[in-house]
Amino acid sequence: MAPPSHSASHLTNASAPNNCFTVDTPHCLLDPGEFRRQGHQIIDFMAGYYAHIEDYSVSPKVTPGFLRSRLPAAAPSQPEPDALAAALNDVRDLILPGITHWQSPRHFAHFPASSSAVGALGEALAAGLNVVPFTWTASPAATELEMVVVDWLGKALHLPETFLFAGGGGGTSCEAILCTLVAARDRKLAEVGEGRIGDLVVYCSDQTHFALHKAAHIAGIRKANCRVVPTRREEDSFALSPAALGAAMREDVDAGRVPLFLCATVGTTATAAVDPVAELCAAAAPHGVWVHVDAAYAGAAFICPEFRHLADGVRAADSVSTNPHKWLMANNDCCALWLKRPSALVAALGTDRDDVILRDAAADKDGDGAVDYKDWSVTLTRRFRALKVWLVLRCYGVEALRGAVHEHVRMAALLEEMVRADARFEVAAPRRFALVCFRLRPPEKFCGEKAAANELNRRLLEAVNATRRGPYMSSATVGSQYLLRCAVGSTLTEERHVRDAWKVVQDHGAALLREMHGTTPTPPQSVTI
């Protein structure tokens, strides 16, 4: 619970008691001079955080209730003197020791949530301008910048031109899977009749993110009609088989059900497996199924020439989405969606009601190409996210982002080599992108005992994550096998962090094996890569 020892020095310039500013009317809350003073305070605080982020345990050692029990039960009536400095002291002493430090160079869990100076500051600028661009008129530049940026990003990621505004498609930032599923549902119900919602079937693999199931459930698709096609390690490396998909669809059709939607994944959550999108589209086409490609994590990699073929592969799909906040330095949150036929989205999510706010603010649609983004997403309220993505692309350039992805993949490949070079470990699924999945091999006497092997690796992860100033990784269970996941991709991660992380894994692995053997095993041949 105690904050790192350096905190007293690196973050305390926040507490200089120089605030004699008082709020007596609302407009004081946005006084430019006070904003400037407080703004510099926040920036210095954040810069101090980044400079000392390695001092924090990536995952906090706290128990539920640790923070709630230390904060008052109600908001103060009146602020303290220099309340922002006091609040920042609380951030330093109470909150920072309690967050998971996703920006730590030792954060290898889940997928990255990458950050950059310009990404963070772009969010700050958007928050400060504080526009609500639900329609073109409600903030023209915000809408148009979003149109520009989705095309910029789509081009940088080598998406087929048909997904860009420039090619007759278009994109936005929204809840991609839910929105496209509702668009697909409406298109299909218009064809087969509104009453048949109970017959609609959604397809995915057993590796598809649960977001698909949640979206289907929200959209009124029966749970029994979510068809989960099993994947196999040996044959397909956990990718969805087009043959199995085709068979499932035929079976549904034969039973009188209506195939609706396929969520294919490029870069699954567990192992970053890649579904064969082109072949899946071919299998789905005879049934008029909407194919959405979820490339939440791996879409970022399309920026590199070596992964460009994956972008080509989505050519026959209806829609594709990725999260620039995961691996394109664009700070949480931003989900980018591209579609070939945005009109289907607007038909499902648009409103034709004569609403007060919308009549004033609706775009003049006379062929000018302006869009009202409220009709492209669930919520009316939206933020000016495009500003941050534009700043990131503009200020770093495509080459720097490509370089970052490339460097993370290089470091992951290095880790993979180190795993292969240590006979005590195995690479548990083919490395994809910058995700390495590995496990500790159990001692020979336990071979064939899956549960024991899984338990060994569960203990390994626990030990690794409990290491003081150690790496933080996560796990997956695929094909009943528990494996450790190391996702390289935090902005601050350098090769030394990856090497250090592997050393920690090796040390704990060795200790666990010693314990299992009851004797000290022969030290493995050490290989330096």
| Residue in the block written with tokens 């935090």 | 490
Beta carbon of residue 153, minimum distance to a second copy (angstroms, whole number): 7
Q: Which is nearer to a second copy, 146 or 416 (CB)?
A: 146
Report which secondary-structure segment, H or E, holds 459: helix 450-466
Phi, psi of 341 (to 5 degrees): -125, 80
| CA nearest neighbour of 488 among 207, 120, 114, 117 | 114
Beta carbon of residue 123, minimum distance to a second copy (angstroms, whole number): 3
Question: How many residues belong to the chain?
Answer: 529
Beta carbon of residue 422, minimum distance to a second copy (angstroms, whole number): 24
Q: Is 215 exposed, middle or buried (0-12, 13-18, 19+ CB in 10 A)?
A: buried
Pair 138, 361: CB distance under 8 Å: yes
A 10 A CB-CB count for 12 gives 15
Angle at 379 (CA atoms; ends 376, 381), nearest 5 degrees: 105
H helices present in 164-295, as ranges: 176-192, 210-218, 233-236, 242-254, 277-284
| Whole-number CA gyration radius for the chain | 25
Beta carbon of residue 456, minimum distance to a second copy (angstroms, whole number): 17
Q: Which is nearer to a second copy, 24 or 235 (CB)?
A: 24
Phi, psi of 399 (to 5 degrees): -60, -40
Token digits for 1?
Answer: 């619970």
Beta carbon of residue 13, minimum distance to a second copy (angstroms, whole number): 11
Beta strands in 246-404 (DSSP E): 258-265, 290-294, 319-322, 336-339
Q: How far apart are CA 312 and CA 433, in angstroms?
A: 17
Q: Which is nearer to a second copy, 281 or 374 (CB)?
A: 374
Q: Which is nearer to a second copy, 263 or 358 (CB)?
A: 358
Q: Which is nearer to a second copy, 133 or 443 (CB)?
A: 133
Beta carbon of residue 35, minimum distance to a second copy (angstroms, whole number): 4
Beta carbon of residue 248, minimum distance to a second copy (angstroms, whole number): 18
Q: Which is nearer to a second copy, 24 or 444 (CB)?
A: 24
Q: Which is nearer to a second copy, 111 or 261 (CB)?
A: 111
Q: Which is nearer to a second copy, 68 or 518 (CB)?
A: 68
Sheet arrangement for strand 425-432? 425-432, 435-440, 481-487, 474-478
Q: Which is nearer to a second copy, 261 or 283 (CB)?
A: 261
| CA nearest neighbour of 211 among 273, 294, 277, 302 | 294
Beta carbon of residue 479, minimum distance to a second copy (angstroms, whole number): 12
| Residue in the block written with tokens 């970053």 | 272
Beta carbon of residue 210, minimum distance to a second copy (angstroms, whole number): 5
